[in-house]
Chains A and B, each alone.
Chain A
Amino acid sequence: MKILAALYLISPIGAFIGHTLLLVSRMVVLARPPVTSMAESLLFVPWIAMCGALIIRRGRRLVGLAAAVILCFAYPDFEPVAPVLNSNMWLSTHVILVVSSYGLFLLAALFGHAYLIKPHQRLTKLVYHTLFLGTAALIAGTLLGGVWAAQSWGRFWDWDPKESWAFISICCYLVGIHAYTFGHIKARGLAMTAALGFLAITFTWYGVNYILGTGLHSYGFGSGGGWIYGLAVLGDLFILSALFFKNSWVGYLKRYDTGKRGRAPRALFRSVRNTLHLYGARRRHRPDT
């Protein structure tokens, strides 16, 4: 896996071909889709993200970097499938859709971060497409999971932690999509939704199994790595906060450098207000004096 990860840094397309061959060979050997464990999902999600990047012909290097990081944590295993997962039909529909949505959200998060660093209209469209498609896939996959749960466990929905966090992730994206569709946030807000929503997805993907460790999806349970995950999330939140207030502190520093110091809190307040306007918050109308 580490060789594949290194190859993604050198030649994303070459690595993608090798990655595809690896997944296909697993499918042929195991006679089922390669999505029944955390190890397999760590192989599948970067593949989907790279697929998306190749289809839209954007972001290969960025996705290659993310894939390299994820594949460093991947480990091949050949554990037999738990009885409740012994259904190729449901693995091919529910699990593939959900895990594919994780790949699309990874792509959206990468484009979202890129937009927050350097806004570009092309990136807006990319964030929109990947976010919306990912949400559609996650909603459909989650609902199919409910149907499968009704077949296996005798009930459609019981707020199992995995189900709950899938619901929470959907809610995170729906808030952003509704706000963007009705003009309450702009492209920066959508980019921030993509970035923050992926944190919810990572908890659904990893945190439920490795940190909470409760619920009926117990075949995926493990332990360890909680502190690495926590650090990664905190680090990303710090970066997002810095990007969120980038215009604020850049504007504040400019005022400070040009000598228009004023009172620091007022200057900072104005900068924050200008930042919020960038995200779509309405200006309060002031009558002319």
Chain B
Amino acid sequence: MNLSNLYRTLSSVWLAIALIALCALEVIAGTVIEGLTGSHERAALYTYGHPLFKALLVGFFLNILLSALRRLPWKWCHTSFLLAHLGLLMVITGVFVKITFGLQGHMVIMEGAETNQVWLPGTETIDANGRELDCEIVAYSPHAEEKLERWFKNDLVYVDGLKPIAMGEIRAISMEGSLITVTAADAPRDGMLTFVRSEDAVYVGTEKLPQAHVAIDGGRGGYGVVAQIDDFTLFTPLTRQITPLPSLAKLEDNRPLVTVRYQGETVPLLYDATGSGLRWPIGDKLVRFQPKRTTLPYHVRLRQVRQINHPGTEKPAAYEADIVVDGRPRFLAMNRVVSLPGGYRLYLSNLNNNRAQIVVNRDPAKYLLTYPGCLLISLGTLMLYIKKRP
């Protein structure tokens, strides 16, 4: 095939029709996958996010560009065609600019709190106090389950090999050295349970609900849970039991597991999508497997978040938030965006009790390419109709 034939093929309407049809088929497949699995991420993995789809977009770009060049020298009668298809070129270019240079993330802020950190969903990093840890990945599993084992949960005491004992049934406690002996009413083994009091632990807890985690040596010694009975504080270490599992159909629910090696130590880490869970010790660091973060050039503080209901009903009419951005009060609501210098835009995405999720977006191509392209497509399509009507 010589260059002339190649040029004619690449600029032909048959190629355009074939590309449009292929694109439509791929998108149909994506919606079917999403309908069957309930997972937008899985659909994107096989269709919209697949390199083949990006190749189709490049194919569109080439076909439109070459078909326009084929009509050189342009005349007035080509105006409608050129407008509509120039708009398409601008929109496709805008897509690639957004993918390469844009930002799409979110912030989760409690009322009264302030942050400038933006979470980037779908990314993964081993975070060691705000920095990515340079470590070796020994193993990776797409999904895993974690159980945190401890001796007591709520107001029941759990010991391996014994049935759970209610805290209210503990009759006596005695201490000898570092051993605390507890006598329970129906403890099956000599009526005694033994706990060990650790000298390095920080004790925080209530009498009946020992739910608070404590960190030993700032977390470097592990974690535990405490309970207070009279003058005695019981402590139980937290032990993790992690089970690798196959990937779920709904990728969004996956919790990947990664085993990392650092300074001769190996530790398994389960993905923490919110980045608010426990950090685990490895070497001289405390690390967490979480999404990547980027720093916004602004500090955002959430003053108040509220849901406005339709009068006389419990149904929401509007979601609103009062925020302060670098000392300036701003109002955020559904359909009311806060635009900041530098092209950053904040959107109120979700609110839950006294916590707001704010989407942070930066699209350098929006006003230069995408929106003007959309206008040209609409205008050009209308002009094509007016020009070509029988």
Instruction: Tell me if B345 is interfacial: C-beta within 8 Å of chain A.
Output: yes
Q: Residues of A contacting B347 with CB < 8 Å?
A: 151-154
Range of interface residues on chain B? 35 or more
Residues of B that sit less than 8 Å from A by CB? 13-14, 16-17, 20-21, 23-24, 27-28, 30-31, 34-35, 38, 40, 43-44, 47-48, 98, 104, 310, 313, 315-319, 334-335, 337, 345, 347, 349, 359-361, 363, 366, 370-371, 374, 377-378, 381-382, 384-385, 388-390
Contact between A152 and B334 (Cβ–Cβ < 8 Å)?
yes
Q: Residues of A contacting B13 with CB < 8 Å?
A: 178-179, 182, 184
Chain B interface main SS type: helix
Q: Residues of B contacting A175 with CB < 8 Å?
A: 17, 20-21, 24
Q: Once the chains are docked, how many angstroms separate the CA of A29 from the CA of B370?
A: 37
Residues of A that sit less than 8 Å from B by CB? 80-84, 86-87, 90, 124-125, 128-129, 132-133, 135-136, 139-140, 143-144, 146-147, 150-156, 158-161, 164-165, 167-168, 171-172, 174-175, 178-179, 181-182, 184, 208, 211-215
CB distance from A208 to the nearest CB of B (A): 8
Q: Once the chains are docked, how many angstroms separate the CA of A212 from the CA of B317?
A: 26
Contact between A174 and B31 (Cβ–Cβ < 8 Å)?
no
Cross-chain contact of B334 among A86, A133, A156, A208 (Cβ < 8 A): A86
Contact between A80 and B313 (Cβ–Cβ < 8 Å)?
yes
Q: Once the chains are docked, how many angstroms separate the CA of A160 from the CA of B316?
A: 23
Q: A167-B24, A175-B24 are in contact. List 13 more A-B contacts (CB 8 A).
A: A80-B313, A132-B388, A132-B389, A146-B374, A151-B347, A153-B347, A154-B345, A161-B31, A161-B35, A168-B27, A175-B17, A211-B35, A212-B34
Contact between B35 and A214 (Cβ–Cβ < 8 Å)?
yes
Cross-chain contact of B370 among A81, A154, A156, A165 (Cβ < 8 A): A156
Cross-chain contact of A87 among B319, B335, B377 (Cβ < 8 A): B335
Cross-chain contact of B389 among A129, A159, A172 (Cβ < 8 A): A129
Q: Residues of A contacting B16 with CB < 8 Å?
A: 178
- Given the contacts A147-B374, A150-B366, A152-B335, A168 and B28 also touching, CB distance less than 8 Å: yes
Most chain B Cβ neighbours within 10 Å, of A159, A161, A182 = A159
Q: Once the chains are docked, how many angstroms separate the CA of A86 from the CA of B13?
A: 42
Q: List 25 A-B contacts (CB under 8 A).
A: A80-B317, A82-B316, A86-B334, A124-B390, A132-B389, A143-B377, A150-B363, A151-B337, A153-B347, A154-B349, A155-B359, A156-B98, A156-B370, A159-B27, A159-B40, A159-B47, A167-B24, A171-B21, A171-B27, A175-B24, A178-B20, A184-B13, A213-B35, A214-B35, A214-B38
**Chain B minimum-CB-distance residue to A142:** B374
**Chain A minimum-CB-distance residue to B28:** A168
Q: Residues of B contacting A144 with CB < 8 Å?
A: 374
Q: Once the chains are docked, how many angstroms separate the CA of A140 from the CA of B375?
A: 8
Q: Once the chains are docked, how many angstroms separate the CA of A37 from the CA of B43?
A: 27
CB distance from A111 to the nearest CB of B (A): 14
Q: Once the chains are docked, how many angstroms separate the CA of A147 from the CA of B94?
A: 14
Contact between B24 and A168 (Cβ–Cβ < 8 Å)?
yes
Q: Once the chains are docked, how many angstroms separate the CA of A28 from the CA of B7?
A: 58
Contact between B359 and A153 (Cβ–Cβ < 8 Å)?
yes
**Chain A minimum-CB-distance residue to B307:** A83
Q: Once the chains are docked, how many angstroms separate the CA of A55 from the CA of B360?
A: 47
- Given the contacts A140-B381, A214-B34, A151 and B17 also touching, CB distance less than 8 Å: no
CB distance from A219 to the nearest CB of B (A): 11
CB distance from B240 to the nearest CB of A (A): 34
Contact between B335 and A178 (Cβ–Cβ < 8 Å)?
no
**Chain B minimum-CB-distance residue to A81:** B317
